[in-house]
Amino acid sequence: MEINELKEQLKQQIINALNLEDLTPADIDDAAPLFGEGLGLDSIDALELLMVLDKNYGIKFHDRSQSKAVFASINAMAEYIEANRTK
């Protein structure tokens, strides 16, 4: 899958999993931080994102501190998925 296609797919998965009803994939900036100001996500969203990665890409984090860097932005997530996906 092409990386841009992956990013679009990922954005839709995030919107669905985190119930970001007022947003469309176009509203999410590839480089903007996902946490903090950005999308207003919180700690439960972070846990739910772990599940999104596990469910859709077969990626499990054994060290949670590692996930922080991965959740930095859509770009960071897409790159990590490309390199580590098992499905």
Partner 1 sequence: MRSIRFNGFTSISSGIKENNEMISAISDNIMSPLGLTTEENLRAVRAGRTALMKHEDVHGARLQESVVGSFFEELPAIEGYTAFEALCIRSVECALQGKDIDVSSKSCVFIVSTTKGNIWSSPADSAKKVAMYFGNEVQPIVVSTACTSGVSAQLTAWRLLIAKKFDTAVIVGCDVQSEFIVSGFQSFKALSDEQCRPFDKERKGLNAGEAAATLVLSSKVKGEWQLLGGSIHNDANHISGPSRTAEGSWRCLEDMKRLTDAEDLAMVSVHGTGTLYNDEMESLALHRAGLDRLPVSALKGYYGHTMGAAGLLETILSMHALDEDIILPSKGYTEQGTTYGVNLSQTERQSCGKSFIKLLSGFGGVNAAVAWTKAEAGNCGELQADRSKWEEVAEVRLSSSDNLKEIYKTAIGNYPKFYKMDTLAQLGFVGTELLLQKAGAEAESETTAIVMANHSASLKNDTDYEATISDKENYFPSPALFVYTLPNIVTGEIAIRQHIYGETAFYVLPSEDKLDVLIEATGMNPSVKTMITGWVECVAADNYTAHLRLLKRE
Residues that bind partner 1 (CB under 8 A): 17-22, 40, 42-45, 47-48, 50-51, 54-55, 64
CB of 4 to partner 1, least distance (A): 26
CB of 66 to partner 1, least distance (A): 13
Taken in order 77, 40, 28, 14, the sign of the CA dihedral is positive
Considering beta carbons, is residue 2 or 65 the nearer one to partner 1? 65
CB of 67 to partner 1, least distance (A): 10
Other Cβ atoms closer than 10 A to 78: 21
Considering beta carbons, is residue 2 or 43 the nearer one to partner 1? 43
b/e for 52-77, b at 16 or more Cβ within 10 A? bbeeebebeeeeeeebeebbebbebb
What are residue 86's phi and psi, to 5 degrees? -115, -5
Considering beta carbons, is residue 39 or 77 the nearer one to partner 1? 39
